[in-house]
Amino acid sequence: MGKKVLITGGTGLIGKRLTQMLLEKGYEVAYLSRKKASIASVQVFEWDIQKNYIEEGALDNVHFLVHLAGTNVGEGRWTEERKKAILESRTESIKLIARKLAEKQSQPAAFVSASGVSYYGQDTGDRKNAENTPPGDDFLSHVSVEWEKAADQVAALGIRTVKLRTGIVVSKDGGAIPRMALPARFGVGAPLGSGKQWISWIHLDDMCRMYMEALENESWHGAYNAVAAPPVTNEDLTKAICKVLGRPQWFPNVPAFALKLVFGEMAAVVLGGNYVVNERIEGETGFRYRYGELEGALKAELV
């Protein structure tokens, strides 16, 4: 049996593909889940954050730990209750793991946690955001900052810790791209808001390969911008989707006020944007993207 990788949020978009890739490489994969489930080739352990509970054996003989769990930011209006869930599903879960790991004599070799490019702010205009750029001061930035602070509790145990600040993930199976592609398939694709907001993106397979590299390569540590280069505007992304699908883009931009009426505060997810540069990935690692160009990444998923 290969080395054991314990994943939170394993049934999400990134988790499913990462699991597949890990199993193909001979790893043993286990999940922490709120409900007991039967998943092929994966051992599932229960946990309950409110009850401070992780099922016995879950943390035994764990070589690597991956934290992907978190309430979906892009679903449902941001009521105060939902904002609390968005934050605590990311932070309290890691704190629970850190408390339980502190009771163990043997520790994982590495811990890799998701984070978000919203760390820099929901809308940072044309400013180029590298890993050393200070965080923003809005809700999503606060979530990412607290997410990373929680991960530091695992690092404080002497476990090598990596934080991957993720942009838009290009995949046919979930996330923003299928939602944008659906109207485009019917010839009604349109940029959102001004269309000038920057979109920092990465193909799903490159994202998962980056997680695996962060687990295996002992030189990886701290925060990395997990995005491909260069970013594109919302308008250019819409045009690229229409081009790949062979559909015209006839419709004008969807106005910001209409999006705010429909989504409320959550409209900031699509109206804002960040020009994020992968300075540490390019300058400090040997990681090479399979999909470093947007049109190729879209063709791999949408055609």
10-residue mean pLDDT profile of the chain (303 residues): values are 92 96 97 90 96 95 96 86 94 97 94 97 94 96 97 98 96 90 83 89 98 98 95 93 87 71 66 91 96 96 93
Count helices and strands in the chain by DSSP H and E runs: 10, 14
Each residue's pLDDT tens digit, 12-22:
999 999 999 99
Task: Report how far apart, in Å, the C-alpha atoms of 97 and of each of 28, 29, 55, 90, 92 are.
Answer: 19, 17, 11, 11, 9
Sequence spans of domains, the chain? 4-235+263-302
Each residue's pLDDT tens digit, 86-110:
999 999 999 999 999 999 989 999 9
**What is the pLDDT at residue 137?**
94
With CA atoms as reference, report the closest residue to 259 among 185, 179, 184. Answer: 179
CATH superfamily of 4-235+263-302: NAD(P)-binding Rossmann-like Domain (3.40.50.720)
Q: Give CA angle at 163 (281, 230), nearest 5°.
A: 35
Each residue's pLDDT tens digit, 174-185:
888 988 888 888
Q: What is the pTM of this model?
A: 0.94
Interatomic CA distance for residues 290 and 303, integer angstroms? 17
